[in-house]
Chains A and B, each alone.
Chain A
Amino acid sequence: MNNIKNIYFPTTLRDFSKIFKKNSSLIAGSTYFFNANKKNNLLNDIIAITELPLKYIKKDKKNIRIGSLVTFDDIENNDICKDTYFGFLSHSASNCSSQLIRNMATIGGNIAHPNAFNIMPLVIETLNGKIKLYDGKKYTIMPLTDYYNKKLSGIITEIILPLAYDRDFFYFEKIAKTSSSWESYITFSFRASVKNKIINDMRLVFGAITSMPLSSINIEKKFTGKEITKELINDISKEYSEFVYNAHPSHKYAEYRKNVVMNTISEFFSKLSKR
C-alpha cells in the first residue's frame, strides 16, 4: 500500500460515483482489506466508504432493508432484527467471529469477500434475499448468486430480505468437533414453513463446505408438499447427508460432517413435526 496516492472518504453516493472506477479498491469495516493488501504495492487510490449513508436497518410492509455498512454487532442488537424471523438475523449475526470483529465487520464486506465461513451469504440465501448494487451510474437488484456468478463491479448498498417468511421456522447453528477445530466446522441455516405436518416451503443452506453457500433446489422440491413422517425424516436426513458429503468427499472431516448433517436435519424435522 506504499504506492497509494489518494484516499477518498465520500459522504454521498453522488461523490462516490465521481471517483469510482471498475477496479477501485474499497475499504469499509477493515477486517479484510487492510491485512490482505498492506503489502500490495499495485494500489493507487483507495475509497474508504465508511462515511456513506448506508448504516440503517429499516422495515417496510414487504421487506427488511439493511444498509451494507451495518455491522454484525448492529444486527445482533437491533430491535427489528431481534423481532423478525423469530430472532434468526440477530442470532446468526451473533455467531460471527468475535465481539471485536463483530464491532467492525460490515455485512456488505461479508458478502463482497466470499469465504466458506462467511455468515451473511447463508442468511440471505435462506431468506431468498436480494442485494442492491450501485455501479456509479445505476442501481441493480439481484439474487446473491447473480452477484457472484456475474462478478459485477460496484458497491453493495443494501440487502433486501422479504418479510413473507417472518412466521416460518428457523434454525441457525455452527457445529464443530471442538470450538477450535475450524476444519470440521459446518454451518446450518434452515428455514421451513409447515402446516398440518405438511412442508409448504423449505430452504436448507449449508456453510463452511464450499466457498459459496451450499443448497439443493432439487432436494427442496422433492420434499416440499410432503407430510413429515418418520420415513420422511429418515429419507431427507439421508439425502442431505449424502449431498453434503459429495460436495467435498475428500475432506478430512467429510465423514464427521455427514453424520452431523444427518443428526441435525433429523432433529430439525422432528421438531417441526411436533409444531
Chain B
Amino acid sequence: MKKMTVGKEKSIDISFNINGNDMTVSVKPSESLIDMIRRLGYKGTKKGCDTGDCGSCALILDGKAVVSCLMPAFYADGKKITTIEGIGSILNPHPIQKAFVDAGAVQCGFCIPGMIISTKFLLDRFPTPDEKTIKHHLDGNLCRCTGYVKQIEAVRLASNRLKNTNRE
C-alpha cells in the first residue's frame, strides 16, 4: 500500500509526468493541483472560480479532462498530466488551437485553455461529434465574452481538420 508521510517541512515529494517530462516536486497537503501547476510555470492553465464551476483550470489527467482546482496536488503522484502547453505552442499550434483562432472563438482568451482541453478530450473520444455532444462536453467551460456559438463552430472545424492530419 502506498503511503505518503508529510515531512518536517510539512510537505510531500510527488513524481509525475507533465507534457512528456518526468518531474519530482514537493507539495503541501493543502496545495491544489492548479496552484502546483502554475507554481511550476505552466501558467496557460487559468485559475478562475476555484470551486469547479468555470472549467478554466481544466487539464488532462491520465486521459480524462478534469478541473484541477478541486484536486489536491498529491493526487498527481504517478500520473500523466497534459496542460495546454502540452497540446501545442505559438510556433506549433495544435489543429484545435488553430481552429479556435480561425473560427473567431477567442475574445479575452481566459477560458480558452480550458475549452481546448475539453475539446481535446472530446475529439479523442468522439472524432466527429454532433452539436449535442459538443455542447454536452463543453458544458463545464464558462465563457463570459461570447455566446458559445463560435466555440461550437471551432470544435466542428477542428474535427474536420483533424480527419486530415496525423497529429494527436
A8 partner residues in chain B, CB cutoff 8 A: 1-3
A158 to nearest B CB, angstroms?
21
List the A residue with the shortest CB-CB distance to B1.
Answer: A15
Nearest 6 Cβ contacts at the A-B interface: A98-B140, A100-B140, A1-B30, A9-B2, A7-B4, A4-B29
* Contacting residues of chain A (57-109) with chain B, CB-CB under 8 angstroms: 73, 94, 97-101, 103-104
A181 to nearest B CB, angstroms?
15
* Contacting residues of chain A (1-53) with chain B, CB-CB under 8 angstroms: 1-2, 4-12, 15, 19, 27, 30-31, 34-35, 38-39, 46, 48, 50-51
B167 partner residues in chain A, CB cutoff 8 A: none
Cα separation A1 to B27 with both chains bound (whole Å): 12
Tell me whether B64 and A30 are in contact (CB under 8 A): no
Tell me whether A99 and B1 are in contact (CB under 8 A): no
Tell me whether A10 and B66 are in contact (CB under 8 A): no
Tell me whether A2 and B72 are in contact (CB under 8 A): no
- By size class, the interface of chain A is 20 to 34
A31 partner residues in chain B, CB cutoff 8 A: 52, 70
Cα separation A8 to B74 with both chains bound (whole Å): 11
Interface of A toward B, CB cutoff 8 Å: 1-2, 4-12, 15, 19, 27, 30-31, 34-35, 38-39, 46, 48, 50-51, 73, 94, 97-101, 103-104
B84 to nearest A CB, angstroms?
14
Tell me whether B75 and A48 are in contact (CB under 8 A): yes
List the A residue with the shortest CB-CB distance to B69.
Answer: A35
Tell me whether B70 and A30 are in contact (CB under 8 A): yes
Question: How many interface contacts (CB-CB < 8 Å) are there between A and B?
Answer: 97
Tell me whether A99 and B137 are in contact (CB under 8 A): yes
A33 to nearest B CB, angstroms?
9
List the B residue with the shortest CB-CB distance to A5.
Answer: B6
Tell me whether A99 and B139 are in contact (CB under 8 A): yes
Cα separation A39 to B58 with both chains bound (whole Å): 23
B138 interfacial by beta-carbon distance below 8 Å:
yes
B55 interfacial by beta-carbon distance below 8 Å:
yes
A9 partner residues in chain B, CB cutoff 8 A: 1-4
Tell me whether B138 and A99 are in contact (CB under 8 A): yes
Tell me whether A103 and B72 are in contact (CB under 8 A): no
List the A residue with the shortest CB-CB distance to B30.
Answer: A1
B141 partner residues in chain A, CB cutoff 8 A: 98, 100
Cα separation A46 to B4 with both chains bound (whole Å): 10
Tell me whether A101 and B140 are in contact (CB under 8 A): yes
Tell me whether A30 and B71 are in contact (CB under 8 A): yes
Tell me whether B74 and A7 are in contact (CB under 8 A): yes
Q: A30-B75, A34-B70, A48-B74 are in contact. List 7 more A-B contacts (CB 8 A).
A: A2-B10, A8-B3, A10-B1, A50-B75, A98-B139, A99-B65, A104-B64
Cα separation A162 to B3 with both chains bound (whole Å): 38
* Contacting residues of chain B (127-141) with chain A, CB-CB under 8 angstroms: 136-141
* Contacting residues of chain B (1-55) with chain A, CB-CB under 8 angstroms: 1-6, 10, 12, 28-30, 32, 50-53, 55
Tell me whether B66 and A2 are in contact (CB under 8 A): no
Cα separation A229 to B54 with both chains bound (whole Å): 47
A38 partner residues in chain B, CB cutoff 8 A: 30, 32, 72
